[in-house]
Amino acid sequence: MPKKKESSDKKDKSTILHLNMLKLGSAARDAYKNLSNVGTKAKNFALTEAAKSIRKSVKTLKTANGRDLKLASKNGAPASMIDRLVLNDSRIEQMADGLEKIATLEDPVSTVMAEWKRPNGLKIQRVRVPLGVIGIIYESRPNVTADAGGLCLKSGNAVILRGGSDSFESSSAILKCLQEGLRMAGLPAETIQLVPTIDRAAVGEMLAMDSQIDVIVPRGGKSLIERVQRESRVPVIAHLDGNCHVYIHSSAEIEMAKNIVLNAKMRRPGICGATESLVVDRNAAPQLLPTIIDELAKSGCEIRGDDATRALDERVIIAHDDDWAKEYLEPIISIKQVNGLNEAIEHINLYGSHHTDSIITSDQNIAKIFLESIDSAIVLHNASTQFADGGEFGMGAEIGISTGRLHARGPVGVEQLTTFKYVVHGNGQVRP
């Protein structure tokens, strides 16, 4: 008898979750329809008012974040995850500032991308339109709540956010600020919604809501992305892991190389744009690597390397084959020596995640070959991989870095959250 009751309770819980998610989707669909009649001015006003609400709610946001941090610490979360989770004064201000920057961006909706006239007199336009209702599934970083909500609003989309259980309290507090901005602008609160449960079954529900959600954007660890791509009945814009590389060519300036590598790895080791692997020309390694290794070690970075690199410094531990393809998200870096540009390109394309890769070189021709040959969403010359960020690209913020090839690639901002339709004007034409 107890087993039957347990089974029945589980079934009831599942049914309630299913109905609640459908209700969430229906409300989002209605809000999206409402947005079609909303101009740029109202959207911008909602964004700036949300920014004001965030600044007024610093104490509330930090209190909510404190509850998340306490639980994360109790559960033994690693330092990199704690770093992603923290909301301090600086990061709260960055959220508010990000919303204001989104408000200053050009509104992509209704932009005429191209137009032409046919011999029969038909005037054809390709016009940007919103994607519709977007479902965003993310982990740890509560600031994504503000960034994603703001970007979706500016691009005319309604959004359903499903943050990680570890940031639920923080995300809920941020949502209230966003919805306050919507209220002040006279827009429905359902334009931006947060799945009101930490039940993991909610993710499965979202992936099956193809009649309510138009696009799913997952942002998180490899297992989450793989699950979404495997199970989703909704089209997916994938944000895969960030196994980012810096390649130091033999022509690199030592001081520049040192500064870039240190920033690319250690500025924030737990973000997807952090460099995980360093590739160095073998003939220049004895001159380039000792200083770089020393600076990394002094900064608390664990260094794993091939035999040639280990011979340069006893602090370097052995790197195994799986290190070359690993996203550490920790102060750990692997170092591989190669015989020149072609081998570097081959190594990065083989082991990288096609996210972000950088070359350090004073040779412009070498840089050109690298930038053209590396098959990644973002490639850089003489700059840190930590610039892989929508805000740094002038996009105000980003939902994630798409590593796919369809629809969007690189930082996903307001423009990438639109599609297009064809608008055709005639004056009575009929087809013969």
* pLDDT (tens digit per residue) in 211-268: 999 999 998 777 888 899 999 999 999 777 789 999 999 999 999 999 999 999 999 9
Question: Residues 379, 360: contact at Cβ < 8 Å?
Answer: no
The pLDDT of residue 240: 72
Question: Residues 225, 238: contact at Cβ < 8 Å?
Answer: yes
Dmax (CA) for the chain in angstroms is: 81
The pLDDT of residue 395: 85
Same fold, 12-239+406-423 and 244-387: no
The pLDDT of residue 5: 58
Among residues 391, 390, 371, which one has the least CA distance to residue 379?
Answer: 371
Domain boundaries, the chain: 12-239+406-423, 244-387
The pLDDT of residue 9: 64
Q: Does domain 12-239+406-423 have CATH number 3.40.605.10?
A: yes
Q: Domain 244-387, what architecture?
A: 3-Layer(aba) Sandwich (3.40)
- Measured CA to CA, the distance from residue 338 to residue 277 in angstroms comes to 13
The pLDDT of residue 400: 83
Please report, for residues 6, 28, 226, 260, 419, the alpha-carbon distance to residue 244 in angstroms, rounded to integers and kept in the order given.
Answer: 47, 36, 19, 13, 29
The pLDDT of residue 13: 85
For the chain, residues with pLDDT lower than 50 are none
Please report, for residues 10, 102, 214, the alpha-carbon distance to residue 29 in angstroms, rounded to integers and kept in the order given.
Answer: 29, 23, 10
The pLDDT of residue 139: 82
The pLDDT of residue 331: 95
* pLDDT (tens digit per residue) in 312-339: 999 999 999 999 999 999 999 999 999 9
